[in-house]
Amino acid sequence: MKQLLGILSLAIIFSSCNVKVNSVYDKSQDFTEYKTFCWLNGCEFAFTGPSYLNDSLLREDIKGAIVAELLSKGLTQDDDNPDLLIDFHITMENETSVIYHHTDDNANEFKPFPNREVINYLKGTLIIDMVDKSKSAMVWRSEAIGYMDINPDLSEKNIRRGISLVLKNFPPKEAKE
């Protein structure tokens, strides 16, 4: 019963904390002008995140997901003369939730510190920045913040889903002001 209450409590807590995506961009920019991209660091993909996530397979999955998403939006990768320079960052923070369980053994007995369950999880943030190369100015930033298990499922499918969420509103639909 305690375990079921714990799971239900967590479901309630985290149901309102799904992945939240926030994008900011230069509203005066006409994003239809952008046709090509490459990476910010001399058109070389560079991983920016916790060292324990810096392995070659994960890097390639992240790079492939970003490239695939930008290609699906009509951009092409051009290392010689790109319109946009792309950069990304990952942060992970360990966080803890405490869930208190009350027992029904003796309803008249007051226990100021009932049984508690400590649950550890990760708060992860993925940020993608886009810089207009000709202006040397950032024109787009999008970040996704979500909560994960301590050992998150970093499968290619989940990485693609995360990148897709971060770039969901790129390019913006609003007309140039």
pTM of the model: 0.74
Domain with 147 in it: what CATH number? 3.30.160.670
Classify residue 172: in a domain, yes or no.
no
pLDDT in tens, 22-54: 999 999 999 999 999 999 988 888 877 778 777
Lookup result for tokens 């053994």: 105
Reported as a single tens digit per residue, the pLDDT across 59-88 is 889 899 999 999 999 999 999 999 999 998
Give the 3-state secondary structure of residue 41: coil
Domains: count for the chain: 1
Q: Note down the domain range covering 151.
A: 23-103+116-166
Question: Residue 108 falls within a domain, yes or no?
Answer: no
Q: Any alpha helices (H) in 16-139, and if so which ranges?
A: 56-72
Residue whose C-alpha is closest to residue 177's, from 30, 60, 2: 30
